[in-house]
Structure 1
Amino acid sequence: MVPEPRRSLRPVALPNAFCAIVAERRLLKDLAYRLLGSGGAAEHAVRLTYVRWYTMPQQEQDGIDSPAAWLVGTLVRICVDLLETPKL
């Protein structure tokens, strides 16, 4: 059998806010790692940050002038909360 040729991927137009959020992922993970000292904990903090962003009503998201600044601020608060949580 001859394999089917791959289809080229067409660029998808994404909303600017979504592009800004995804572009910040590396910064968020690096910052969380520096604050928490663990890759797993950093990934968890980044996930919690994105959960807060995506569960926020669209009107609130639209009212945020700098999604990157909002994400960093939220991530720092989450990291502090994780550091203050007693470990079992």
Structure 2
Amino acid sequence: LARDDFGIEVLDRWRSARRGEYPARWRVSVPRAKLVLDVSPVLADQELAVSVRYWEGAVDVRGARAGNPVTGNGYVELTGYAEAALHSAGGSRLR
């Protein structure tokens, strides 16, 4: 797929108690394949705080392809969101 072949729309966000706000539900569309999927986290808080903070976790997938229902499971990894929150708050990263 080329970038212009699909779209991703953020439908919801989750705010970390520690830092950062992450997209938390998405609509993925691939018009040429007549595919529309809603992707939702199994659990909202799947943030990891290791050397960097990031969100990764299991997701449920539901939608339709050419009018036929589809379901599935998946995995999403999001990086850069906690860093963006730190910089917008005037902080800096320690090295």
TM-score range, shorter chain: under 0.3
Q: Highest Rg: 1 or 2?
A: 1
- Larger helix percent: 1
Give the TM-score normalised by the residue count of structure 2: 0.26
Give the TM-score normalised by the residue count of structure 1: 0.27
Q: Which has the higher contact order (CA 8 A, sep 6+)?
A: 1
